[in-house]
Each structure stands twice: as C-alpha cells, then as structure tokens.
Amino acid sequence: MPPLRHPLINSRYPHLLHGGDYNPDQWPLRPDILAEDIRLMKQAGCNTLSVGIFAWATLEPEEGRFEFEWLDRTMDDLAKAGLHAILATPSGARPHWMAQKYPEVLSVEPNRTRRLFGLRHNHCPTSPVYREKCAQINSLLAERYGKHPALLVWHVSNEYSSGYCHCPLCQEAFRDWLRRRHGTLEALNQAWWTTFWSHTYTDWSQIESPAPHGEHFLHALNLDWRRFATDQTVDFMKNEIAPLRAHSPEIPVTTNLMGFFYDLNPWKLAPELDVISWDSYPDWGAPQGDVAVGFRTAFAHDLNRSLKGGRPFMLMESTPSVVNWRDVAKLKRPGMHLLSSLQAVAHGADTVQYFQWRKSRGASEKFHGAVVDHVGHEHTRVFKDVAEVGGVLAKLDAVAGSGVPAEIALVFDWENRWALDDAQGPRKSKGYEDACHAHYHAFWKRGLPVDVLHMDGDFSSYRLVVAPMLYLVRPGVAERLEAFVEAGGTLVVTYWSGIVDANDLCFLGGFPGPLRRLLGIWAEEIDALHDGETNRVLPSAGNRLGLARHYEARELCDLIHAESAGVLATYGQDFYAGRPALTENRFGKGRAYYVAARLDANFHEDFTGALATELGLRSALPGTLPEGLSVQIRSDGTHDFLFLMNFLPHENTVDLGTETLEDLLGGGALRGPLTLPGFGCRVLRRLSTS
Ligand code: GLA
Ligand code: ZN
C-alpha cells in the first residue's frame, strides 16, 4: 500500500482547487468582460485559473518585444479578488513570426514534409532555436511572476505530444541516442536483427526514423524511435522547467498529461514533475453506457495518481458540458457534472479544473463547453452545475492531501503496449487495453482500490499484482516478480506473456521466457480465434478457488503445459480440449497464476472474488455493491473518505451496513440502506480502517 499522507498541491493553499483555462488574451478589447469574469469566478466558487497557455503571440508580438502589462493586470486582478493562478509557459503554440523566420521550429511529418504554420502541439523538440526561445520566455515569466501572490503552480506547455518530428536535426539526435543505447553498430544490428531482409546497417548515417515510404517493419527500430521520442520530449521539457525552478523553486511544476495517450510514456515525464496533472474527456452519454465509460475513466485517474507514488494529482482539464471534437457533442445529463468531477477527487485528484472558463467567440473551440457561455451571464444550467461543484469542493478541505489505500497493483506498461501492438501476429488487434480493463472492471465493481504501475514499479507494498499480456519483459522484471511472490505476494499473469526482451527479440528456450520458472508453465503455441469464435473453459472439479461456472474464451488461447504449476481449469473444446487454461504455481510463500486465454466477465468476477476472499483484500465498503455503483476510498490514515457514485441514470440502493458514517455534503449521519438518485453521489467519512 502506498503512503496515505501527501503534500498538498501547494502548501500555501490548503483547499481543493477549482477553476479552468482562462484566456484574457482573447478579450483585449473588452475590459467589461474581464471585470465581469472576476465577479463570475467568485460566483461559481472558482478559486484557481490557468492563464497564458496559448498566449505567446500576445506576450511577444514581435521578436524581442514583450508585452506583459495584460498579464500583470490579470495576475493582480486575480490576487486582489483572492483568486489564484496556474501560470503556463506558452510553448504549446508559437507566433507566426517565429515560424516564418525560423522554419526549423516546425516539425517534419513521417513522410519528410515540413509542416506549414498552423494548429498547435507540433514543434520540433530538438530545434535549438525553439529551445532557446522557450528558455527565454520562460525565464522572463518566472522572473516576473515567480513570486507573485497569485501564483500556485507552473503549467509547462500544453499536452506535450510532438516528440515525433522527422527533421534532419531529430534524425541526428536519434542516431546519437542510439549510439548511447547500443554502443556499436554491430550491437545495434544484433539487437534489431537486421540480417532479416538484408537490412544490415554499415554506417550510422544510414539510420532513418520509421517512414511510410521507407523502413517501418523493423519492429525494434520502431520501438527505439518511440523511446527516443519520449526521451526527446523529456529533454525539451527539462529545458523549459530549468528557468522556472531557478527563479521560483518553491512553486510546483506540472504539465498536463493525457491519460492513456499512446505516443508518450508518462512514466518518463513523471520524475521531472512535482505534481501530476491530466486532461480528462470521457464520452459521457455514449451508447456503451456510463458504467463502461465510468470504470475506464476511473482506471485513467488511478494511473495518474500512481505516477507519483499515490500523490494527489490535478484534474487540469475537463468539460463543464460538451466536448466539441467528438462526432456527437452530447450534453452532460443533470447530475453528471458533479458525479464526474467527484469521481476524479475520489481517485486522488485535489483539483477540478475545466477547459474552459469562457467560451471563445471564434475559431475551432467556440462550441466547446465552458463555464461562461456566449450569453455572458450566470443564469445557465451549466454555470449552476459548476457553482454546485464549487460549493461541494469547499466542504472537502479535509480530503486534500489524502491517499488511496490500494493493495492491488495492475501493470500497464507503455513499451509493452507499443511492442505488442506493432508485432505482426497472433492477431492484428491485440486488445491490450481491453485485457487490462477486464481485470480492472472486476476490482471496480467490488470497490477494491487499485494502483496502476509500469513493469519497473515497486511491487513490494502490494498484496496482489496483476500483469495482463506482459509480452515484453525488461531485464530485472522477472527477478523482481519472483522476489515479490517468494515473499508471499500473489501474482496473476495472462496469455501472450514473456515473449520478447527489451529489444523485441523473442526469448529462446520456451515461453514465457524469464517468467517460466515463476509461473511453472511452458506456453508451446497460441491459437488466435476469429471475431465471434469461442472456446469454453471448464473449472477442474474441486479446484481450490471454488470456481464453478463455465467460462467463454475469445480471441487468444495459449496452449500450455503445466510444469510445476497445478491446473485449476481446462479448455472444453477443439483439439486442445482438456489442456490447462488456468494454472497456479506455489512459489516461496506466494502463488503465481497464469490465465491462458482471454476470458469473459463471469470468469473475472469469480476469479477476482476468490482472490479477494483468500487474500482478505479490503474493499471500500463491505458487502456486495449494486451494479453501476462505484465506491472509492481516500484515506489520511485517521479518516477514510468514501465516495459513493451511481453511474446509472436511475436510482440505486446500497447497504452501508451497521456502521455510522458522517455525510460530508448533506450533514448528519447515515447507516443501513442508502438510495442514490440517477447519477447521484455522496461523500461520507468514517474513522480509518486502513
Ligand atoms: C485539450 C487542450 C485544450 C482544449 C481541449 C478541448 O485538452 O489542452 O486546449 O483544446 O482539449 O477538449
Ligand atoms: Zn525535429
């Protein structure tokens, strides 16, 4: 279990933060609107606004001429009103003059075409000019505002995502990076298996990033290119952060991440940041239903909390109503705004921030949700929803800084994801996220808190570690998993694990490679099923976990041999009927399970239930939870805060049991059955059981 008491986002402000992206730079001609903004912020219960995110052209309208008066006014106005600022560095987009004078700041596409000026998040991360310009503007901002009473947090850039620039500068940087990683060209050729199709490199200059009209099936190249893109982004970010820390070491630094965004490995960015923040845009109201959207969003919140060892994170962006970039911009139903905001807090957020405070009048986001609509006043449904959240957060000061008592770690690893998806076979769509969701959903339904780790994470403080589809295994991982199980931990690994090493080279001598001894099995072959095809998995009579139902297998079925492991279930059909489908290996004081096939929700329910009972895992609320109701727990070690959240559009009743719980929002004490309205939520407090 990670620690339960953490530093506040900023120790000067012992409250949950509430606010959003604020763009006074878009309204220079409307002082009346700017004055009105401050009044409305107070009215909405907002306390902290994010300023300057895309303001470079306003800050530096021509090269070397800086205009800070508007930002001085904004920061002073916020401070005077008792409000705070999250101040951004502007590198998410740059002024026209810069791209015109220094085209190298613009990134180059995989087809080797340099982008024209436009859009955002598309700079070259290597360009010395861009790095210098960023360092300069960041220094000026930090010098000027680093000690400003309004400033709480530095917001570096916006949604870093442009690490994949294919310009000549980036190619050279990639080659240098490869020299550092592999040492010699011989070693690189060996690691990348370049004798295949006669692709042996004989000079470093022959190495090019993956290209649609060039090399893109050399999977180890693809993997190293992705690693490089993350490292180059981290390097770029460090260049941005240095002047901020130099001028204002006491102000925490964050950058807004994007949940399970594919192209950057957030575990590499996290150590450089003081606080994690992320932008969450779930598709509430989507046809799959809000329960499905709800548990997937929960998983992403848990990832962000786990990125810094359980330290509370910032929900940096969310929408107060619609997201305009989806195919269908559905309104949040009544209740959903409070529910989705509190869901973030339930999983460890100490802030609820929005994109955006006031709707822009023109350009591409003029129809994106905002606290203040084009009508300009507070008499809107959305404004009232936001003010309600403001009122609720103000009652939850005690929650700030508390942690989540997770006894379970779920491994989700970016390099594994990239390598797995890129491989040809055994199926085009591998479903890594789905595999993780299937386990996560079973925990969510039982109110069992979960941390999300990468494979290099520290497993030692958990009772149960689940590593679905651990296809790529980096050096040291198997040894650490062995140590974890040996010391009494329980491990679950699934089909298609232990297949390649960190260079994407297959393990020789039998899968699951370095995990074979721990799992006590040999995976000889894997069968891929067409969509709609199924097999059956039948629990063995008298199996120790008490599994009793028949389960359905889809998509991937490993054909394994139990070596030291015992068999808990077998396949029911096809030529491999009778072969093991679920095994258990005793290893030291612990046990390691292998789930050989992608199994249905009934399996996950039964298997998770059996493990939870056997290990005595503590759920947030004892007893069975009704479908669609999530209970999450935060705790500071003295008090537990229980968040009860109904993701169904109709009433749902939960049994609180005999214990008396304090209702932090409504006041009073509660026990026994509690009925929540559709999309209803409650926050309760009890003496800690953690
Ligand atoms: C992202 C960006 C914001 C805005 C929102 C809209 O998260 O950071 O600038 O574009 O999306 O949903
Ligand atoms: Zn570049």
Measured by CA distance, the residue closest to atom 4 of ligand 1 is 355
pLDDT of residue 2: 82
Neighbours of 3 (CB within 10 A): 12
CA distance 414 to 122: 22
Question: Which architecture characterizes domain 408-615 according to CATH?
Answer: 3-Layer(aba) Sandwich (3.40)
Model pLDDT for residues 189-231, shown as the tens digit of each residue: 999 999 999 999 999 999 999 999 999 999 999 999 999 999 9
Q: What are phi and psi of 420, to 5 degrees?
A: -60, -50
Residue from 22, 70, 27 nearest 50 by CA = 22
**SS3 at position 356:** coil
Residue 581 near ligand 1, beta carbon < 6 Å: no
pLDDT of residue 364: 97
pLDDT of residue 162: 81
Segments of 343-428 assigned E as strands: 349-354, 408-411
Average pLDDT on 43-64 reads 98
Cα 169 to averaged position of ligand 2 atoms, centre (Å): 5
Measured by CA distance, the residue closest to atom 12 of ligand 1 is 323
pLDDT band (50, 70, 90) for residue 560: very high
Provide the annotated active-site residues: 159, 317
Residue from 313, 399, 395, 390 nearest 357 by CA = 390
Q: What are phi and psi of 482, to 5 degrees?
A: -60, -45
Question: Cis (ω within 30 of 0) for the bond into 426?
Answer: yes
CA distance 281 to 620: 26
**SS3 at position 27:** coil
Instruction: Return all residues near 20 (Cβ < 8 A) that are at least 6 apart.
Output: 46, 49, 50, 317, 320, 353, 354, 355, 356, 357, 370, 371
655 membership: H or E segment, kind and range: strand 652-655
C-beta of residue 104 within 8 angstroms of C-beta of residue 84: no
pLDDT of residue 651: 98
The ligand whose atoms approach the alpha carbon of 321 most closely is: 1
Cα 355 to averaged position of ligand 1 atoms, centre (Å): 6
* Mean of per-residue pLDDT scores for the chain: 98
Measured by CA distance, the residue closest to atom 5 of ligand 1 is 355
158 Cα nearest atom in ligand 1: 8
Cα 105 to averaged position of ligand 2 atoms, centre (Å): 8
Residues of the chain by 3-state class (helix, strand, coil), percent to 5: 30, 20, 45
Average pLDDT on 464-487 reads 98
The ligand whose atoms approach the alpha carbon of 120 most closely is: 1
Instruction: Return all residues near 59 (Cβ < 8 A) that are at least 6 apart.
Output: 52, 66, 67, 68, 71, 90, 137, 141
pLDDT of residue 357: 98
Handedness of CA 231, 232, 234, 239 (dihedral sign): positive
Residue 279 near ligand 1, beta carbon < 6 Å: yes
Ligand 1 test: best mutation among 119, 159, 261, 318, most atoms within 8 Å of CB?
Answer: 159
Q: Where are the alpha helices (DSSP H) in 427-506?
A: 432-445, 477-486
Model pLDDT for residues 355-364, shown as the tens digit of each residue: 999 999 999 9
Model pLDDT for residues 303-355, shown as the tens digit of each residue: 999 999 999 999 999 999 999 999 999 999 999 999 999 999 999 999 999 99
Instruction: Return all residues near 484 (Cβ < 8 A) that are at least 6 apart.
Output: 459, 460, 462, 465, 491, 590
Model pLDDT for residues 155-179, shown as the tens digit of each residue: 999 999 988 999 999 999 999 999 9
The ligand whose atoms approach the alpha carbon of 368 most closely is: 1
Residue 158 near ligand 1, beta carbon < 6 Å: yes
pLDDT of residue 385: 98
Average pLDDT on 631-660 reads 96
pLDDT(621) > 80: yes
CA angle 295, 299, 304 (to 5 degrees): 145
pLDDT(492) > 80: yes
pLDDT of residue 659: 86
Average pLDDT on 365-377 reads 98
CA distance 290 to 107: 38
Per-domain residue ranges of the chain: 408-615, 629-687
Ligand 1 test: best mutation among 355, 359, 367, 368, most atoms within 8 Å of CB?
Answer: 355
Task: Classify 344 in phi/psi space as left (phi over 0), alpha (psi -120 to 50) or beta.
Answer: alpha
pLDDT band (50, 70, 90) for residue 554: very high
159 Cα nearest atom in ligand 1: 8
Residue 484 near ligand 1, beta carbon < 6 Å: no
CA distance 450 to 134: 38
In order of 320, 364, 383, 384, 391, the CA distances from 44 in angstroms are: 12, 25, 7, 8, 8
The matching CATH number, chosen from 2.60.40.1180, 3.10.450.50, 3.20.20.30, 3.40.50.720, for 629-687 is: 2.60.40.1180
CA angle 534, 536, 541 (to 5 degrees): 175
pLDDT of residue 623: 82
**SS3 at position 611:** helix
Tokens 């292998």 correspond to 594
Average pLDDT on 601-612 reads 98
Cα 108 to averaged position of ligand 2 atoms, centre (Å): 6
pLDDT(690) > 80: no
pLDDT of residue 114: 98
Measured by CA distance, the residue closest to atom 7 of ligand 1 is 279
Extract the tokens encoding 496.
């298609």
Residue from 422, 504, 474 nearest 210 by CA = 422
pLDDT of residue 400: 98
pLDDT of residue 624: 87
